Structure 1
Amino acid sequence: MLETDMLRLLDVVARTGSFTAAAVELNYTQSAVSRRIASLEAEAGGPLFERLPRGVRLTPAGHVLHRHARDVLKRLDRAGEELAAIRHGTGGRLRVGAFASANAVLVPNALRDFRAVRPGVEVTLVEGLSGELMDGVREAAIDIAVVSDYFSDVALGDETEITPLMEDELLVALPADHPLAGGDVVDLRDLRDESWIAGAPPDGATTLGEACARAGFAPRVDVRIGEWTGKLGYVAAGLGVTMVPAMAVPAVRGDLALRRLGQFAPRRTVYAALPRPALASARALLGFLQHGQDGLFTGD
């Protein structure tokens, strides 16, 4: 097996045409260069250089090996550059996960600013529930994830780093002509007779059910839609009301009325989850996520 330093020596001798010049460039003795080249020739099965009165030149076999050596060395140099870029967070791949409403404004804005300063990083996106995303972080399938503690349990462990990003309040979305759309705050108890547009799955504890239980009633759910953007279409059509994360307010269609729910408003904490150790590029994106949430409505 040819070693990398032997291939580099071959390249320098071929380029300089001299054992002496190669020894000076590589800080070897001339005898050390001669011994190494002789060892390389023994491994190659024949002479690689013609010894001339002044210097050396490649044999046909030497030309073949030198050509392949240069290809290998170029590839290794490129690999070193790419590894350095990953270490410094300026290159490589960054796998980003987020739950659906985080992808409405928070994550896109952070990625826009991130790409402006680190265009060499290849970003891939994964959308899913917080529990699924946390699994991806722990299994090294995701490099940074935006997750919530409200809709699913966030499992913590020594191998995962959790950074709080924001407290997110849920609002109620009403048709623009709804009788309660005129005020700034809607008492959730005043919505007990409404038809609710809720998310999937249809059974088990839900954000809506828990909030309404605190207000003293069970919601009547006539339509279930998996994505929060789909719920808004049903609200705009006058088919019911729904809850909307405050962090997604800038992306909500303009023909709806968004109102706070006061004392019964559900809240959740939004986190960034990173594996330990984290990529430099993931830490850079974390900084943009932390600054990006400043411009969002958080219910405060």
Structure 2
Amino acid sequence: MGEFTIVGLRVVQEAARSGSFSTAAENLGYTQSAVSRQIALMEQAAGRALFERHARGVRATDAGRILLRHAETVLGGLGSARQELDELTARTPATLRVGAFSTAMAALVPRSIAATASRLARVPLREGTSPRLVSAVARGRLDLAVVTETRNIPADTEIEPLLDDPLLIAVAPDHPLADRTSVTPAQLRGERWIAGSTEVSGTLLGAWRDAAWEPEIAFVARDWFAKIGLVATGMGSTVVPGIAVPVLPPGIALVRIDHPAAARTTSVVHRGVDSAGQVFIEALRDAAADLAAEVRHRLR
């Protein structure tokens, strides 16, 4: 039998409130599969079903209502604790060393810094790849880091998911795919790609790779502005994460990739943080939810 988790309790609570796993996923900024996975883990911990599945949604079972009652107490207590910690942090501005991968630095991290500006005296930033950032957290050189890759995480490092971020194809407004809402990997065959390296397996985004074909790298550009500039002039396509959408020019067309792998989980890693760190992580969660909503609006 598994254990109850705070993330799982939040998911159960939101699913019960909305009466729908899909609505709960949208409200929390998760994919429906992530919500279903959390519900399954909570049902495993409870040893029985927590929801009755119906054609029009879900409804809590007797066991679900028992867990919800306790979830309200637990989450409410955590909310009270966070409020007290917020008040303490407000009285004592702190320094928090934050790391993040490049596209998280575009909007996610800046918005979180702005939201906590009155509570944090300084937020030294470090940009890097996820493995390097995880290593910096493990060595105590960073207090927390926003990452996408969570393999080989040290045992004493905590991982908290922020959102399941969709991967999108950015194309010029007159590109044949520009008017589509989504494409399959097969429809991307023959595209000219703009990537950070000719080694597709080692580059960060840029080109979509398929088991049936190798992408044609038309231009190599590590800088995001250079990539988008080349896309805007019709020189090729590039893969961008959803959290970068707010800083992309409005003329760039964005298309979803219809594939299970066309998403990556963005998480925050740390080795235990003080009240200032908890405040910042909460700001990251809020900013992540707002960004997920903006992506959905842009892709309508």
TM-score, normalised via structure 2 length: 0.63
With over 3 angstroms needed to count, the CA separation of the structure-2 counterparts of 1:209 and 1:110, relative to structure 1, is closer
Deviations 1:210-229 (A, max 9, x none): 95324x22110121222333
Runs of 4+ in 1 over 6 A off after TM superposition: none
Residue 148 of structure 2 corresponds to which residue in structure 1? 148
Residue 267 of structure 2 corresponds to which residue in structure 1? 271
Deviations 1:181-227 (A, max 9, x none): 1121123322211210012373645576995324x221101212223
Structure 2 unpaired stretches of 5+: 1-84
Deviation at 1:162, TM superposition (A): 0.8
Question: Is 1:245 matched up with 2:226?
Answer: no
Deviations 1:95-139 (A, max 9, x none): 1100011111111111111114x1x52111111100111111011
Percent of aligned pairs with the same residue? 34
Deviations 1:64-104 (A, max 9, x none): xxxxxxxxxxxxxxxxxxxxx9x944323211100011111
Deviation at 1:250, TM superposition (A): 1.1
Residue 123 of structure 1 corresponds to which residue in structure 2? 123
Q: Structure 2 matches for 1:62-81, cutoff 5 A?
A: none
The question of whether the paired residues in 1 share the 8 Å contact of 2:193 and 2:207 is answered with: no
Residue 285 of structure 1 corresponds to which residue in structure 2? 280
Q: Structure 2 matches for 1:254-265, cutoff 5 A?
A: 254-263=250-259
Q: Structure 2 matches for 1:48-87, cutoff 5 A?
A: none
Residue 295 of structure 1 corresponds to which residue in structure 2? 290
Per the alignment, in what secondary structure is the counterpart of residue 292 of structure 2? coil
Residue 135 of structure 1 corresponds to which residue in structure 2? 135
In structure 2, how many angstroms separate the alpha carbons of the residues matched to 1:260 and 1:209?
A: 14
With over 3 angstroms needed to count, the CA separation of the structure-2 counterparts of 1:107 and 1:266, relative to structure 1, is same
In structure 2, how many angstroms separate the alpha carbons of the residues matched to 1:210 and 1:174?
A: 12
Per the alignment, in what secondary structure is the counterpart of residue 155 of structure 1? coil
In structure 2, how many angstroms separate the alpha carbons of the residues matched to 1:173 and 1:105?
A: 18
Per the alignment, in what secondary structure is the counterpart of residue 282 of structure 2? helix
Deviation at 1:146, TM superposition (A): 0.3
With over 3 angstroms needed to count, the CA separation of the structure-2 counterparts of 1:209 and 1:241, relative to structure 1, is closer
Question: Is 1:176 matched up with 2:178?
Answer: no
The question of whether the paired residues in 2 share the 8 Å contact of 1:110 and 1:285 is answered with: yes
In structure 2, how many angstroms separate the alpha carbons of the residues matched to 1:139 and 1:279?
A: 17
Q: Structure 2 matches for 1:136-215, cutoff 5 A?
A: 136-149=136-149, 154-200=151-197, 202=199, 204-206=201-203, 211-214=208-211
In structure 1, how many angstroms separate the alpha carbons of the residues matched to 2:107 and 2:257?
A: 22
Per the alignment, in what secondary structure is the counterpart of residue 239 of structure 1? coil
With over 3 angstroms needed to count, the CA separation of the structure-2 counterparts of 1:92 and 1:207, relative to structure 1, is closer
Per the alignment, in what secondary structure is the counterpart of residue 97 of structure 2? strand
Per the alignment, in what secondary structure is the counterpart of residue 162 of structure 2? strand
With over 3 angstroms needed to count, the CA separation of the structure-2 counterparts of 1:259 and 1:210, relative to structure 1, is closer
The question of whether the paired residues in 2 share the 8 Å contact of 1:162 and 1:271 is answered with: yes
Residue 97 of structure 1 corresponds to which residue in structure 2? 99
Deviation at 1:254, TM superposition (A): 1.4
The question of whether the paired residues in 2 share the 8 Å contact of 1:185 and 1:259 is answered with: yes
Residue 57 of structure 1 corresponds to which residue in structure 2? none
Corresponding letter in the other structure for 2:135: D
Deviations 1:229-253 (A, max 9, x none): 3211111121100001011111111
In structure 2, how many angstroms separate the alpha carbons of the residues matched to 1:210 and 1:250?
A: 21
The question of whether the paired residues in 1 share the 8 Å contact of 2:208 and 2:215 is answered with: no
With over 3 angstroms needed to count, the CA separation of the structure-2 counterparts of 1:194 and 1:204, relative to structure 1, is closer
Corresponding letter in the other structure for 1:158: A
Corresponding letter in the other structure for 1:212: R
In structure 2, how many angstroms separate the alpha carbons of the residues matched to 1:105 and 1:279?
A: 24
Q: Report how many residues are paired.
A: 209
The question of whether the paired residues in 1 share the 8 Å contact of 2:194 and 2:207 is answered with: no
Structure 1 unpaired stretches of 5+: 1-84
In structure 2, how many angstroms separate the alpha carbons of the residues matched to 1:232 and 1:170?
A: 15
Per the alignment, in what secondary structure is the counterpart of residue 284 of structure 2? helix
With over 3 angstroms needed to count, the CA separation of the structure-2 counterparts of 1:288 and 1:297, relative to structure 1, is same
